[in-house]
Structure 1
């Protein structure tokens, strides 16, 4: 078997930025074990697998090198980009059937807008001792979303300078940890964040769309805003525009194809 395969950088603001994702376009849904093996072979944070339904919509699944995940923003953006640029899609809005329900991707100029479910974090009073040791201080706020924990700290520099320990983070997370703070004064950023998910094989994710479904809710409520600008301050870095619309979050960013070819296997 051979299938078209692309490596796409999502949420880019310059070359070699954003989050790389594999995108594999198949003619029918392969076995889950095969997709997991392909994701391991690709060795990206996520690889997306898409195949077209008779009604013109697409089935979409995401795999890390270790597990299937229920929601992935950057690989969805990458998949939409690949379908428009390489697979001949012409519709303005692509519809995807996923483990997180029906999702949409829409072309807006040179950007792609994703329509995702909101993720409202719930406050947790007791902060894990290991996290306190890693941070060296009590976070401003600590909570739990659907899959991930969120810890809010005082400054963007505290986020950028944080030194993670994958083993320790894996010890108290079910999937991942979001570390976030207000954007730097005068930067035009509402928030800065980093995301760590060693439990699913991602020590640090470059840019995480699903985490921003939670961040949009937290910062939107805290700042009293529905339109937000976000930076994920990983070594690669990435920028996102967020519109919080109650039960939905619209995430917008750019994508760029870095490699294209065929997967043989």
Structure 2
């Protein structure tokens, strides 16, 4: 590409579900004036090599929002939605209280609450299933499994929270399962529940904090614990935290903080 044909795009990297640098889940954010080709969006996400990059363009009443992993476009991403909202509120001068996004998962809204941001997402229900052959072996789990459920991801419930940090899956083996991702979760003392999420099938071996997974994890744990306000922590070496409100109308509110770590431009 010659210098006369280059153009630049603003780029931000925001750590979501944390107040600390290098915590939570990093997401790329690229505000656009109009859509680029699908191949270009995917190439930008691949170049970022983050679990997700968010792209948005203005509409008459909000924004059209899309998310790409390094490998595929996805239907829903919580942490990149939080990151995009942080950029709109803090860098692009959005002055309203609530941002409305049109997405593959319908309309999503994000509002600012002090230092936190509240994402209003559709809840998902998890259905109990038989343990898929080879799943526990791929995760390296030999005991303590309460059961397995299926929503957008497979959910493996274990009875000992200390197992979570020690997980070291075989990602090649996990890649054989026909699911967006696999999440292992347990009850906790400090938080209501903890978890880790693995998604080699979509090009993300481990996602530190998966907001979209909490659209079914929060209702799952709300039913088990008998409460609709829950605190959660997700991640292995890198962790983040969020609060979840399971409403009676089929929606889940996810509250989290965010902070920017990188600001720059893409040159195309």
| Both proteins in one fold, TM over 0.5 | yes
Q: Is the 8 A contact 1:149 1:173 kept in 2?
A: no
Which residue does 2:4 correspond to in 1?
none
Number of the residue aligned with 1:144: 150
CA-atom RMSD in angstroms? 1.1
Work out whether 1:89 is the aligned partner of 2:94. Answer: yes
Q: Does 1:130 align with 2:130?
A: no
Which among 44, 49, 52 is matched to residue 43 of structure 1? Answer: 49
Deviation at 1:164, TM superposition (A): 1.1
Give the structure-2-normalised TM-score.
0.94
User: Which runs of 5 or more structure 1 residues have no equivalent in the other structure?
Assistant: none
Other-structure match for 1:78:
83
- Tell me which residue corresponds to 1:213: 215
Equivalent in the alignment of 2:3: none
Q: Which runs of 4+ in 1 moved over 6 A?
A: none
**Alpha-carbon deviation of 1:92?**
0.7
TM-score normalised over the length of structure 1:
0.95
Aligned partner of residue 179 in structure 1, secondary structure: strand
What does 1:60-209 correspond to in 2, within 5 Å? 60-124=65-129, 126-133=130-137, 134-137=140-143, 139-145=145-151, 147-184=152-189, 187=190, 189-209=191-211
Query: For the residues of structure 2 that align with 1:234 and 1:107, how far apart are their CA atoms?
Result: 28
Whole-Å separation in 2 of the counterparts to 1:233 and 1:26: 31
Deviations along 1:10-52, whole A, 9 cap, x unmatched?
0014221000000000001211111001100111100000111
Partners of 1:109 and 1:215 lie apart in 2 by 25
Equivalent pairs counted in the alignment come to 259
Unmatched 5+ stretches in structure 2: 1-6
Q: Distance in 2 between matches of 1:228 and 1:139?
A: 22
